């Protein structure tokens, strides 16, 4: 049983909480209705969509170093909001077009918020041919069309500074690593073990099932690129795992069967249709 009470700002500001993306947004939104000042401290960069939205609705939000602060009791102003395409969803197709020979893909109207595009920097460091066109602002968010051509990829040591900016895209990036020449090393990503699944272990097992050498670490993964075989992988109900292995099938020598994919329809209900439009051959089996 939860009983409503008056909210108070998080204080003193010097002792504000260390939070992740969702926690930061939750407390900032609660702070709108709190008495006094609310400050949230971020030990590492997190997504700033909530701050941008509040500013777009006329609500003052102040960033002081690694702290985000607002005063409660203000007023939100109605406005027209246009939501750009999700970068995390686009990332699967960026990887797919990069690894499939002869690919030339344009993904239109995608949000390129700098707190979200670590995967773009990682793919470029691996040798991906990705360019941004028609840059613009939509609802306070930077947007562009993403043009991807197939290119030979090489393994890299992923800079830890990019980990929080690409945390949701690593299942797709592990597939890129499997198709790259040489070894790719990821460290500093222990958070992947507590996502919808243990994404380090599940991706390692799935890549191994397709003939790729993948060695899980406590806080990351080592992937040695090589030829992908067909086979069966289990997504453990994790939508990003399922979509990542759908892209891996583009380079597999035989069909890839992915189990437990129902959650894909929750996060990306048009994924199968988009994948087919992009040239993938996908058969969905129920039951």
User: What SS3 state is found at 52?
Assistant: helix
* Residues 104 and 210 occupy one common structural domain: yes
Q: Give percent of the chain above pLDDT 70.
A: 91
| Residue-level pLDDT at 3 | 52
* Residues 109 and 226 occupy one common structural domain: yes
For 49-58, which contacts have Cβ atoms below 8 Å and span 24 or more sequence positions? 49/25, 49/113, 49/141, 50/24, 50/25, 52/113, 52/139, 52/140, 52/141, 53/81, 53/139, 53/140, 54/28, 55/140, 56/81, 56/139, 56/140
In whole angstroms, what is the distance from residue 158 CA to residue 165 CA?
Answer: 12
**Confidence at 79, pLDDT banded by 50, 70, 90:** confident
Residue 24 included in any domain: yes
Domain stop point among 71, 104, 122:
71
* Residues 135 and 261 occupy one common structural domain: yes
Q: Is 60 exceeded by the pLDDT of residue 141?
A: yes
Residue 283 included in any domain: no
CATH of the domain at 105: 3.65.10.10
Query: How many domains does the structure of the chain reveal?
Result: 2
Residue 109 included in any domain: yes
* Residues 154 and 204 occupy one common structural domain: yes
Domain stop point among 37, 71, 105:
71
* Residues 27 and 141 occupy one common structural domain: no
Residue 284 included in any domain: no
- 137 pairs with which residues across the strands? 142
Residue 81 included in any domain: no
In whole angstroms, what is the distance from residue 224 CA to residue 162 CA?
Answer: 20
* Residues 39 and 153 occupy one common structural domain: no
Residue 287 included in any domain: no
Domain stop point among 71, 98, 123:
71
* Residues 51 and 142 occupy one common structural domain: no
Catalytic residue among 145, 168, 238, 260: 168
Peptide bond before residue 12 is cis, with ω within 30 degrees of 0:
yes
Q: Counting beta carbons within 10 angstroms of the beta carbon of residue 196, is it exposed (0 to 12), middle (13 to 18) or buried (19 or more)?
A: middle
| Residue-level pLDDT at 63 | 87
Range of the domain at 16: 7-71
Q: What is the DSSP string of 231-253?
A: EEEE-TT-HHHHHHHHHHTTT-S
At residue 206, φ and ψ (nearest 5 deg) are -65, -45
* Residues 61 and 93 occupy one common structural domain: no
Q: Is 80 exceeded by the pLDDT of residue 5?
A: no
* Residues 111 and 249 occupy one common structural domain: yes
* Residues 97 and 208 occupy one common structural domain: yes
Residue 1 included in any domain: no
* Residues 52 and 128 occupy one common structural domain: no
Q: What does the pLDDT look like over 226-273, one tens digit per residue?
A: 999 999 999 999 999 999 999 999 999 999 999 999 999 988 999 999
Residue 263 included in any domain: yes
Active site residue 168: yes
* Residues 66 and 91 occupy one common structural domain: no
Q: What does the pLDDT look like over 171-224, one tens digit per residue?
A: 999 999 999 999 999 999 999 999 999 999 999 999 999 999 999 999 999 999
CA 172 to chain centre: 9
């Amino acid at each position: 049983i939860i009983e409503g009470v008056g909210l108070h700002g998080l204080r003193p500001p010097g002792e504000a909480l260390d939070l992740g993306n969702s926690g930061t947004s939750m407390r900032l939104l609660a702070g709108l209705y709190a008495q006094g000042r609310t400050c949230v401290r971020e030990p590492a960069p997190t997504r700033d969509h909530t701050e941008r939205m509040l500013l777009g609705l006329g609500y003052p939000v102040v960033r002081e170093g690694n702290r985000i602060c607002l005063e409660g009791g203000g007023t939100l102003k109605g406005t027209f909001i246009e939501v750009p395409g999700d970068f995390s969803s686009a990332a699967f197709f960026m990887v797919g077009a990069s690894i499939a020979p002869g690919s030339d893909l344009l993904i239109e109207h995608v949000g390129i918020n700098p707190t979200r595009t670590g995967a773009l920097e990682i793919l470029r460091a691996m040798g991906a041919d990705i360019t941004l066109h028609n840059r613009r602002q939509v609802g306070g968010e930077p947007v562009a069309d993403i043009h991807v051509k197939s290119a030979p990829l090489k393994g890299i040591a992923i800079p830890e500074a990019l980990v929080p900016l690409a945390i949701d895209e690593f299942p797709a990036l592990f597939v890129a690593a499997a198709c790259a020449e040489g070894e790719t090393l990821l460290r500093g990503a222990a958070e992947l073990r507590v996502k919808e699944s243990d994404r380090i272990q599940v991706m390692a097992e799935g890549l191994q099932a397709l003939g790729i050498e993948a060695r899980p670490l406590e806080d990351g993964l080592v992937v040695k690129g090589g030829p992908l075989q067909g086979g069966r992988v289990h997504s453990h109900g994790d939508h990003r795992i399922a979509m990542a292995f759908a892209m891996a099938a583009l380079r597999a020598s035989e069909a890839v069967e992915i189990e437990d994919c129902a959650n894909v329809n929750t996060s990306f209900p048009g994924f199968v249709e988009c994948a087919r439009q992009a040239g993938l051959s996908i058969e969905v089996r129920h039951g």
